[in-house]
């Protein structure tokens, strides 16, 4: 039986679905309903579940990780994620995405070069990411330095997540995972571009 827990922390609802000490899917939202809705949409077909009010120690630890990542802090991501029902390609994309460090972003195209497929295929995996924000799909943006989309609340939520992850880095890096190389750039570049190009960036209060 799959167990689902929700918790409101500082005005944001976090949700986690667990089974046998593994995280099946996670979510967050402005309301309990929105967080639960995302969780339910990611459940494997025909899997029975129950929503419980008192989380186990494992579920509580998972929710704490969600909140830590959401706050832009460095988190211990030593959680067992249930990926058995995911495709091989999805696993590859999520694994390399999980390697993007706090303070940096990468690109749909860069990930597709590293694992195969197309930028659109990578975007589809990001849109269906069952482990937000543990696997940081918010750190994947378009090659023109625009944010792209974000299924867990929209571009504004993605922007706020990235704002909290600023570390003052100034240089790009190349990270390696399982022999594949991925270019990452400081998040500040994306934030500056978004602020400059946003339609409300130059609006003044009257």
Q: What digits encode the pLDDT tens for the residues 62-90? A: 999 999 999 999 988 889 999 999 999 99
- Domain end, chosen from 43, 70, 97, is at 70
Question: Which of 10, 42, 11 is closest to 134 using CA atoms?
Answer: 42
Pair 108, 166 in one domain: yes
Model pTM score: 0.92
CA distance 58 to 22: 9
Crossing angle for the helix pair 119-127 and 88-97, nearest 10 degrees?
Answer: 80
Enzyme catalytic residues: 137
Pair 6, 96 in one domain: no
Mean pLDDT in residue range 156-173: 96
pLDDT value at position 198? Answer: 60
List all residues 6 or more positions away from 198 whose beta carbon is below 8 Å from its beta carbon: none
CA distance 156 to 147: 9
- With 80 as the cut, is the pLDDT of residue 44 above it? no
- Domain end, chosen from 36, 70, 104, is at 70
Mean pLDDT in residue range 143-161: 93
Q: How many Cβ atoms from other residues are within 10 Å of residue 205's Cβ?
A: 3
């Amino acid at each position: 039986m799959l167990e689902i827990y929700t918790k409101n922390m500082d005005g944001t609802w976090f949700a986690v679905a667990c089974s046998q000490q593994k995280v099946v899917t996670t979510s967050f939202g402005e309301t309990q309903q929105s967080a639960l809705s995302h969780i339910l949409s990611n459940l494997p077909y025909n899997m029975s579940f129950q929503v419980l009010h008192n989380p186990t120690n494992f579920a509580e630890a998972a929710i704490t990780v969600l909140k830590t990542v959401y706050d832009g802090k460095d988190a211990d991501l030593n959680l067992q994620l249930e990926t058995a029902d995911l495709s091989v390609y999805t696993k590859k994309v999520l694994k390399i995405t999980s390697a993007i460090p706090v303070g940096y972003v990468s690109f749909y195209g860069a990930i597709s070069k590293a694992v195969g497929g197309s930028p659109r295929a990578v975007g589809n995996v990001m849109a269906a990411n069952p482990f937000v924000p543990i696997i940081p799909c918010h750190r994947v943006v378009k090659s023109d330095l625009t944010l792209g989309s974000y299924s867990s609340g929209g571009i504004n939520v993605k922007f706020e997540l990235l704002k909290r992850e600023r570390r003052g880095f100034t240089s790009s890096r190349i990270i390696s995972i399982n022999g594949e190389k991925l270019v990452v750039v400081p998040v500040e570049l994306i934030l500056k571009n978004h602020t400059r190009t946003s339609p409300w960036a130059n609006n003044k209060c009257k």
